[in-house]
Structure 1
Amino acid sequence: MQIDLSGKHAIVTGSTKGIGLGTAEGLLFAGASVTVNGRSQSDVDEIVAKLQTKYPDREVDGVTADLGTAEGCDAVITAHPSCDILVNNAGVFGPDDFFEIPDDEWMRFYEVNVLSGVRLSRVYAKSMMDAGWGRIVFLSSESAFNIPSDMIHYGMTKTACTAIARGLAKRLSGTGVTVNSVLPGPTMSDGVKDMLRDDAKKNGKSLEEAGKDFVKENRPSSIIERVASVDEVANMIVYACSNQASATTGAALRVDGGVVDSI
């Protein structure tokens, strides 16, 4: 299968590291022009420069904006009023006991993980409909179905993303625009590396070994019994953005290593 996204413009939110960066690279490799996004101007500038060097024949630019606010989403839309591909990847996560999570933290998770995608999709889906082609992907998680007891607020937002993607796919029925959610399991992103680093150092393990131990202890239903790589998740996202995925819409596409125990 040869995925060719030449002539398509993609916006990938939260793409200065982790799955977002891996997705931006995958889309560039497939021929798309890409807009990256992050909250730090220095991070955005650094990643744009690196990608321009690595893919000199592709168009790469960046928008610095906090997508946990309506103003941040407006900044992206002002910079690029339309696009062909939107990957709603921006998100926050972190363990907290239910009884210790204040209202403003629930709202922060919801604003970043859910409303950022809603606000951008509400605008970009219209131009995609006018063009008769478009791809929208929401980054969900296996935590959408397998709600973690120590991250209930996170799991809630990922369930919401999955529901929105399904509903929006129906709303855009017959338009040539597809909407899907992608559900990673534990993935070796920068955040997960930071989480595993102390355990690895303390017990003389590699990050990969620490990751396997984490999965066995915290996600015992995993079939691959390891943490997935960023590229393994990004590959699914790039496919969902391709012409080849034209009959895939309204789907919750799992890259969870079999963590969710259902068929």
Structure 2
Amino acid sequence: MKIDLTGQRAIITGSTAGIGYAIAKGLLTAGAEVTITGRTQDRVDSAVEALQRDAGGTVSGIAADLGTRAGCDALITARPDADILINNVGIFGPQDFFETDDETWQQFFDVNVMSAVRLSRHYAQGMKSRNQGRIQFLSSESALNIPAEMVHYGMTKSAVQSISRGLAKVLAGTGVTVNAILPGPTRSEGVVAMLEAMAKEQGKSLEEVEADFVADNRPSSIIGRLATPEEVANMAVYAASPQASATTGAALRVEGGIVDTMA
């Protein structure tokens, strides 16, 4: 299968590192014109430079806080139209339920949910008028397997999965597809740094510590390891392609079999 996205304009939010960066690289490699976003200009500039080196193609970046209406408006003003929207920006972090205050709940909702709502509400209208487009929401296996240590995070990922399914129905018959991508634990920069510190402390290899981490925290994993950002990105690139025209309203799982259901 050869995926050709030449001429397609893609926006990937929260894409200066990790899964978002890998998706941007994958879309560039397939020929799309890519806009990435990040919170600071320095991070955006560094990521654009790295993508140009690693993938080539046409890539630019916008610095904006997408957890705010003003940040979303700034992105929309700079890039008023898109053919592919990947709602990837998000925050996470473990916290005791009884110590998670209202402000934290609101922050997670604003960044993880409302950024995707605001951007999808805008870009979907142009896609609908052209009868063509792709919208994706980065959810998580935590949407289905709510972690006790991150109830506030799991809630946001369940929410974006629901929005994805509903928006797919709103856009029925238009040629615009809407899907949710559900990664599991992934080798992001932060996770790798944490595991490296654990390996040094325990006198073990990184591979041993990773296997222990998965066994202790996600014992139902079938692959028994973390996914790579590239593995998650492969699903996102496929879902953005013409070949995925009959895939919509779906929860596309890239979580290594952690969720113990076949549906």
**TM-score normalized by structure 2?**
0.98
Aligned to 1:179: 178
Aligned to 1:25: 25
* 1:75-224 matched pairs, under 5 angstroms: 75-224=74-223
Consecutive unaligned residues in structure 1, runs of 5 or more: none
Report the alpha carbon displacement of residue 59 of structure 1 after superposing the two structures with TM: 1.1
Aligned-partner residue type, residue 136 of structure 1: I
Distance in structure 1 (CA, Å) of the matches to 2:204 and 2:128: 50
Distance in structure 2 (CA, Å) of the matches to 1:160 and 1:223: 26
2:18–2:188: 8 Å Cα contact kept in structure 1? Answer: yes
Aligned-partner residue type, residue 8 of structure 1: Q
Aligned to 2:51: 51
Aligned to 1:236: 235
Q: Deviations over 1:41-62 (max 9, x none)?
A: 1010011112223344x11100
Distance in structure 2 (CA, Å) of the matches to 1:257 and 1:52: 31
Distance in structure 2 (CA, Å) of the matches to 1:41 and 1:208: 34
Single out whichever of 45-54 and 88-97 deviates more from structure 2.
45-54
Distance in structure 1 (CA, Å) of the matches to 2:189 and 2:53: 22
Distance in structure 1 (CA, Å) of the matches to 2:147 and 2:160: 16
**SS of structure 1 residue aligned to 2:247:** coil
Distance in structure 2 (CA, Å) of the matches to 1:102 and 1:124: 33
Report the alpha carbon displacement of residue 201 of structure 1 after superposing the two structures with TM: 1.3
Aligned to 1:9: 9
Aligned to 1:258: 257
Q: Deviations over 1:217-249 (max 9, x none)?
A: 010100001111111111001111000000000
Over 6 Å off, 4+ runs: none
Aligned-partner residue type, residue 10 of structure 2: A
Single out whichever of 208-217 and 237-246 deviates more from structure 2.
208-217
Distance in structure 2 (CA, Å) of the matches to 1:161 and 1:115: 9
% identical equivalent positions: 63
Aligned residues: 262
**TM-score normalized by structure 1?**
0.98
Single out whichever of 43-52 and 147-156 deviates more from structure 2.
43-52
Distance in structure 1 (CA, Å) of the matches to 2:251 and 2:211: 25
Aligned to 2:68: 69
Query: Please, what is the CA RMSD of the aligned residues?
Result: 0.9
